[in-house]
Structure 1
């Protein structure tokens, strides 16, 4: 019998373009779901796929036009494949604009030869006008160069190409939402000042003349044609909900999509957190704010998943012991939760990816993002087992570890424990890290402004790193022994200090929040270890870099000391978040999380390029099809894994565009 992991190897397709490799994920144990659960998955998957064009438009105002022209005129180009993957013309991870693999003249000739009725012309726009509009956007590297700009000292809103703002400066945007908060507090004297809606999450901010207004994402508002389709399938999903609580959750989301009222979104989030019994669950909506340079606007995303029953036992143990982890955290007692509420964590199998989670996706998610809901009602976390398994299988025999690790014992350790410690760190990050700690009264995460996302990710990572080495994990049978954690410590520090820079062009700074987070942790620890060593000249630093034949390697000399430093940084990062200390957040990020040593950067990239590995991975969704009998009854839902990347993208553009 073919094992699950062997099946994954058979499903992988090694289609490769630019810096991207495409994989498939298998719906593990999908056949064990009931027909009702399968039909629920199917309906929720349709709702997920209908958000695709919203993401394209949020990533940039020209993306849908460009995609449509490319699908007609350049269907086999690498540029189109990259546009599909990134939901636009900016790299999905670095957010930098990439340029076509054909010339301006090729583009002009192709568009001029295309039937006019097939082109995405605005009302009254000529073909010449369309070409003139798109040429600088596509071919000029200085026009809209960065989807999300995070460079200190610049107007982050005005210099970012994302489509959350139009004609608005950063100062105006921040002021607009500060005023909304003040107005809300004045108009709701009975409500807690800590329980404000997430203002700006589901809207585009537009300036006309001197007036600044919001275009709210809802039925009857912006993206209405797509949201109507999403709502249609959500309402169909209600028919197959597993229990009454799930029906209420879906109905609450539908109500929010109809009104656009962020208080309804909070009500939905509270119901969603409280609904834990069904095996099938989903994320659908304007959620994460990484795509907004000032961290207010939610990008549309969708995931449908079902519990991996066997693996969920691991996260259930963490959730059951959440209070112990909170109580024993190295952070100041003022910032610990006296009572941890409603921690729910599952290992799941993804059944469908959509929006900002497709084709590249997270391996773990913790929601909701509102800190007051976490504190009062709890949170739900997922680790996506069929995605992490696909990544693990794709990494085998790549030569990556052998190139960057100059120690046989460490290689053996990582080979033995790397996969399980990676998953466990993700569990700790999502299940406990994001849900840990509490804010000081009157403080909100958005006080950290553009640094908020990076600080929050660093906090969750540090929580996981600190506890990876705790004997409690062996006691709970989450790790096999007290040596296993070292695999995670080594790979994390190696990535943060050296190897994650292979994803960044030479000469560029680190922009993405997760990469900045990892750089902060690794560089801060390295700097502190070096200082401690200099103070005690006879002692080796707990972590050091060294060269052999012109190649840079990393060595960890003292794992317990490394854990102590992780704990010290965790305490400081939690303080920064809890007190809303913007200046300390800025200093931490700008000092340790942005710049890369250029000499080392070139060396690490050169070594990586010789391996022939794509630094980024993404996924092709399975095709879910309802099986109908002679009487018209749906008797099953089956998954097919044969659709190619281009076939899938072309089909999605045809079937899920309003």
Structure 2
């Protein structure tokens, strides 16, 4: 699709950064350099042409010295053509690739091939850079990220030989037996002297070919070869910056954490990365926070390989205090969830950890956000064994969340009489529900596991009672299995949906809302938020339809699939608490919520859905989950008609312009850029990636 016009927001940081001490500024600066140095890793993970397009855009900036308006006369193009080109360039840089970070759909320049060539003719180097990528750059196909085919592509599976799902699964089986974790890998199929070889490309700055093991595969007959050195150049630069960062660490704990990062990125060892995460979760109140590594599996169609992330943020003490209050009362709120059993495990029941230590919960301001899109919050690490034994952290990014409070954002699916109040409430609902989503959504649940042969994390002689069957549980995770390996392609979406359900289920708990300052007497009352939570479920469920590909019948974004599942569930199971009016003549959809049924029908319905997803996750029952979730997230019949309406009114996409930190002598200063396409491009050019 051609890139659509998007709004640019400033990710404001200067005032917060200026409040840091000199040591903290230096620590943040070198961490930020390490974050941005991972940009080309993400580009390489997105598409084969992404790094080449990046090079072309940077060469264009250098060739015109950032004086873009000069191109109108020099290249004989119109002002509208220049604007469309700059829109594409900025959109590409904000998504770190030519596929949307949210939705995984390809976007192409909104100008002709002829115009692109005119623009590139500004210099021989820019013309050469364009010629390397112009074919895939302007082609509508592959139209999305998915299993490699004629219409979809995934750079987690690069190369000329197309790899099948069955082959990926066979390789994963061998990896599991050999205890090779997939997060920092890509998989390439090659034919060598008539033999099929699967090269497991492992991210590391080291390239020790003498230590590359091979494994014989029987189905299919092939060899699996581990090849170190994927992203070697970028990881070497990252390690160099992290080594410099250590000099300014606040304490030995931070220094040790960074040392494990370096070891992991140098050697490819995920065991070293796990050690870094064990330390990271215990560093509970850092002024400068960071997330590094191969973290989320959202974009791998097989659901196990992770995209690189590098995020640096600065704590907001005032907002963090509210979140800490919520965290400190975690056990109380968990005991109100549908699977809780009075008198068991402090009222939480057997499907929760015995000890829920209040995790760190920080409101921070993002300084460097090197990802395919800038998300609102995080709950990490994703390793369940570390979460259960060492804990986890929650982060909310305040300068990203503030973009939600935008009165100009169109509100297509709410009745005009409710739009004003909905807009007053929506950013509050988003903030509070996101906080609960991260803390009590992703933070809840005990995965029943045989941790090693014959050793269980529950009483296997007297198993807990499954509330869905009223019988002892009959399944659990076997040694080496994880939630993602067992649940496969639905894992990420089902987990995001479950976390959302926890948040929405608890949004009518007024003592919880009061922590955030919303009561029966506040300007926006607790009842306002409760009612508008259900409106939000409906609106987000409809908006999600834009991310469903009707040709492949696949969802392009895990969170959006979960939003639609929630809407469809309430329409089917909610007893009339929610409905959608469809005006065929005017192509309008309007969400209706029956206020009188929110507590009597809405909450019990959410509880039924939540309990199913939670228990199935805890007992490794992927089949039952898929049997419900797959049909529930199918878009057909009336829902397909609704999808067409939604696609005719696309949700405005946002771009964010981020600051850079630079050293001026011994001082670190923040460089802020203009809030437009030119500012985004300039900020990237000056990062020197």
TM-score interval, smaller chain: 0.7 to 0.9
Aligned residue in 1 for 2:374: 361
Q: Structure 1 residues 226, 173: CA separation in 2 closer, same or farther (over 3 Å shift)?
A: same
* Structure 2 CA distance for aligned equivalents of residues 200 and 237 of structure 1: 28
Aligned residue in 1 for 2:407: 396
Q: Structure 1 residues 207, 261: CA separation in 2 closer, same or farther (over 3 Å shift)?
A: same
* Structure 2 CA distance for aligned equivalents of residues 413 and 113 of structure 1: 51
Residue in structure 1 matching 2:258, options 236, 250, 260: 250
Aligned residue in 1 for 2:343: none
Q: Structure 1 residues 114, 415: CA separation in 2 closer, same or farther (over 3 Å shift)?
A: closer
Aligned residue in 1 for 2:578: 543
How do 1:328-339 and structure 2 match up within 5 A? 328-331=336-339, 333-339=349-355
**1:156–1:293: 8 Å Cα contact kept in structure 2?**
no
* Structure 1 CA distance for aligned equivalents of residues 108 and 416 of structure 2: 40
* Structure 2 CA distance for aligned equivalents of residues 617 and 301 of structure 1: 19
1:637 matched to 2:669: yes
1:525 matched to 2:507: no
Residue in structure 1 matching 2:97, options 88, 91, 101: 88
Shift of 1:656: 3.4
**2:661–2:668: 8 Å Cα contact kept in structure 1?**
no
Aligned residue in 2 for 1:340: 356
Q: Structure 1 residues 37, 96: CA separation in 2 closer, same or farther (over 3 Å shift)?
A: same
TM-score, with structure 2 as normaliser: 0.78
Aligned residue in 2 for 1:422: 430
1:211 matched to 2:197: yes
Q: Structure 1 residues 112, 600: CA separation in 2 closer, same or farther (over 3 Å shift)?
A: same
1:144 matched to 2:181: no
Shift of 1:493: 1.9
* Structure 2 CA distance for aligned equivalents of residues 117 and 353 of structure 1: 28
1:465 matched to 2:504: yes
* Structure 2 CA distance for aligned equivalents of residues 617 and 512 of structure 1: 16
1:601 matched to 2:643: yes
Residue in structure 1 matching 2:273, options 265, 279, 286: 265
Q: Structure 1 residues 177, 485: CA separation in 2 closer, same or farther (over 3 Å shift)?
A: same
Q: Structure 1 residues 523, 251: CA separation in 2 closer, same or farther (over 3 Å shift)?
A: same
Q: Structure 1 residues 56, 636: CA separation in 2 closer, same or farther (over 3 Å shift)?
A: closer
In structure 1, stretches of 5+ residues that fail to align are: 1-15, 121-129, 150-154, 185-196, 533-540, 629-633
Shift of 1:223: 1.4
**1:322–1:343: 8 Å Cα contact kept in structure 2?**
no
**2:36–2:687: 8 Å Cα contact kept in structure 1?**
no
Deviation larger for 67-76 or 427-436: 67-76
Residue in structure 1 matching 2:678, options 646, 653, 656: 646
Shift of 1:112: 8.5
- Quote the RMSD (CA, aligned, Å): 3.0
* Structure 1 CA distance for aligned equivalents of residues 151 and 617 of structure 2: 26
* Structure 1 CA distance for aligned equivalents of residues 683 and 527 of structure 2: 49
Shift of 1:118: 7.5
Q: Structure 1 residues 215, 509: CA separation in 2 closer, same or farther (over 3 Å shift)?
A: closer
* Structure 2 CA distance for aligned equivalents of residues 640 and 82 of structure 1: 19
Shift of 1:605: 4.8
* Structure 2 CA distance for aligned equivalents of residues 159 and 347 of structure 1: 41
Residue in structure 2 matching 1:162, options 154, 160, 175: 154
Residue in structure 2 matching 1:23, options 1, 9, 17: 9
* Structure 2 CA distance for aligned equivalents of residues 17 and 211 of structure 1: 38
Shift of 1:67: 3.1
Aligned residue in 2 for 1:240: 248
1:485 matched to 2:471: no
**2:448–2:619: 8 Å Cα contact kept in structure 1?**
yes
1:53 matched to 2:40: yes
Residue in structure 1 matching 2:298, options 270, 274, 290: 290
Aligned residue in 1 for 2:330: 322
* Structure 2 CA distance for aligned equivalents of residues 502 and 111 of structure 1: 33
Question: Does the residue aligned with 1:350 lie in a helix, a strand or coil?
Answer: strand
**1:496–1:523: 8 Å Cα contact kept in structure 2?**
no
* Structure 2 CA distance for aligned equivalents of residues 618 and 33 of structure 1: 27
The superposition leaves residues 591-643 of structure 1 with CA deviations (integer Å, 9 ceiling, x where unpaired) of 2224162333344455x47xxxx611121011323343xxxxx2453343437
* Structure 2 CA distance for aligned equivalents of residues 290 and 498 of structure 1: 21
Q: Structure 1 residues 331, 488: CA separation in 2 closer, same or farther (over 3 Å shift)?
A: farther
* Structure 2 CA distance for aligned equivalents of residues 522 and 302 of structure 1: 33
Q: Structure 1 residues 266, 362: CA separation in 2 closer, same or farther (over 3 Å shift)?
A: same
Shift of 1:266: 0.9
1:584 matched to 2:619: no
**1:58–1:299: 8 Å Cα contact kept in structure 2?**
yes
* Structure 1 CA distance for aligned equivalents of residues 397 and 122 of structure 2: 46
* Structure 1 CA distance for aligned equivalents of residues 277 and 234 of structure 2: 21
Q: Structure 1 residues 304, 437: CA separation in 2 closer, same or farther (over 3 Å shift)?
A: same
* Structure 2 CA distance for aligned equivalents of residues 134 and 36 of structure 1: 43
Shift of 1:178: 2.1
Question: Does the residue aligned with 1:276 lie in a helix, a strand or coil?
Answer: coil
TM-score, with structure 1 as normaliser: 0.81
Shift of 1:451: 0.7
* Structure 2 CA distance for aligned equivalents of residues 625 and 475 of structure 1: 42
Question: Does the residue aligned with 1:383 lie in a helix, a strand or coil?
Answer: strand
How do 1:176-195 and structure 2 match up within 5 A? 176-184=171-179
* Structure 2 CA distance for aligned equivalents of residues 325 and 204 of structure 1: 40
* Structure 2 CA distance for aligned equivalents of residues 436 and 543 of structure 1: 27
1:453 matched to 2:439: no
**1:437–1:574: 8 Å Cα contact kept in structure 2?**
yes
Aligned length: 584
The superposition leaves residues 555-576 of structure 1 with CA deviations (integer Å, 9 ceiling, x where unpaired) of 2111112111111111111122
Shift of 1:385: 0.8
Residue in structure 2 matching 1:494, options 535, 538, 550: 538
Q: Structure 1 residues 70, 377: CA separation in 2 closer, same or farther (over 3 Å shift)?
A: same
How do 1:603-618 and structure 2 match up within 5 A? 603-606=645-648, 608=649, 615-618=652-655
Shift of 1:136: 4.7
* Structure 2 CA distance for aligned equivalents of residues 29 and 85 of structure 1: 23
The superposition leaves residues 471-517 of structure 1 with CA deviations (integer Å, 9 ceiling, x where unpaired) of 33146465323414325423422223423445668877642111001
The superposition leaves residues 378-430 of structure 1 with CA deviations (integer Å, 9 ceiling, x where unpaired) of 110111111111331xx2144x34x532264x445434443322211110011
Aligned residue in 2 for 1:514: 559
The superposition leaves residues 21-53 of structure 1 with CA deviations (integer Å, 9 ceiling, x where unpaired) of 211021253332212111211111111111111
Deviation larger for 470-479 or 563-572: 470-479
* Structure 2 CA distance for aligned equivalents of residues 157 and 324 of structure 1: 49
**2:673–2:683: 8 Å Cα contact kept in structure 1?**
no
In structure 2, stretches of 5+ residues that fail to align are: 62-67, 69-81, 207-228, 341-348, 451-476, 521-525
